[in-house]
Chains A and B, each alone.
Chain A
Amino acid sequence: MTTSFYLAAAVALASTLMVITRARIIHALLYFIISLFSVSIMFFAAGAPFAAALEVIIYAGAIMVLFLFIIMILNLGAEAAAQERQWLTPGIWLGPSMLALILIADLAFLISRGGGYANGLYAVTVQPKDVGIALYGPYLLGVELASLLLLAGLIGALHLARRNVPEEGEDGTGIN
């Protein structure tokens, strides 16, 4: 457990360092996904399998796809194809692939040693059932507030992404 945790922590720090130093967004995105995976393994090793699953499904699965959509939308230029060809050189995939291989080995080691998530970092695994009971018990108000926040985010994103929002700054310099 301890070895897995520190290995995943090292991968997380290395990939996050790569995220903030890359020149192109798509490279940073690859490293960021590796960073999220390694943090997920840290959650798993710390006895929080539910949070680990959520990290992969929502962060790496949903939020990163939003970033990918933005990159796709913003790269609709004529030079996009040439850029694409340039990005697909094998050297770019090498770094994230190596880090991902380390993580796979780490996860295999974790599962083979622990036999699932039976024993966490502190010998206590918080089961998803306990999380659910806490979430819909003492934290019910928080759940309602989170739903309001998500609704506000939905309406705000819908409004911001509309094509023909009437411009208030007519000279094109101000932000409306």
Chain B
Amino acid sequence: MAPVSIDNGLMVAWALFVLGFIGVLVRRDLVFVLMSIEVMLNAAGLAFILAGAKWGKPDGQVMFIFILATAAAEVALGLGLVLRFHHKFKTLDTDAASKMRG
């Protein structure tokens, strides 16, 4: 059975990353933006895993664990910010916070 070429696997990771990027660009809901960032982190992890599997080394999985830790910290802070945002503006629309002061 023919092995999956690394190019095809990386194309999948690239497509997932682009989908997440489009999500960040087009959505106005803060929770959707956070979720799209998660999609992008996930795609980066997929690329690491595939590269690690290509060479048969554990380094790709180690990097994936670091990405996981980063994603966990990012989501905890991001959702805390979403709570504060909703408390202040009574909405999740990012356009509500488009005005800067100072």
Contact = CB atoms under 8 A, between A and B. Distances in A.
Interface residues of B, number: 64
Given A16-B19, A126-B57, A46 B49 contact: yes
Contacts of B101: 169, 173-174
Given A67-B35, A161-B80, A59 B42 contact: yes
Contacts, number: 193
A39 B50 CA distance: 11
A104 interface: no
B55 to A, nearest CB: 9
Contacts of A165: 84
Q: Which 7 A-B pairs have the closest CB atoms?
A: A153-B73, A160-B80, A20-B23, A124-B56, A46-B53, A146-B69, A157-B76
Interface of B: 1-4, 8-9, 12, 15-16, 19-20, 22-23, 26-27, 29, 31-32, 34-36, 38-39, 42, 45-46, 49-50, 52-54, 56-62, 64-66, 68-77, 79-84, 86, 88, 92, 97, 99, 101-102
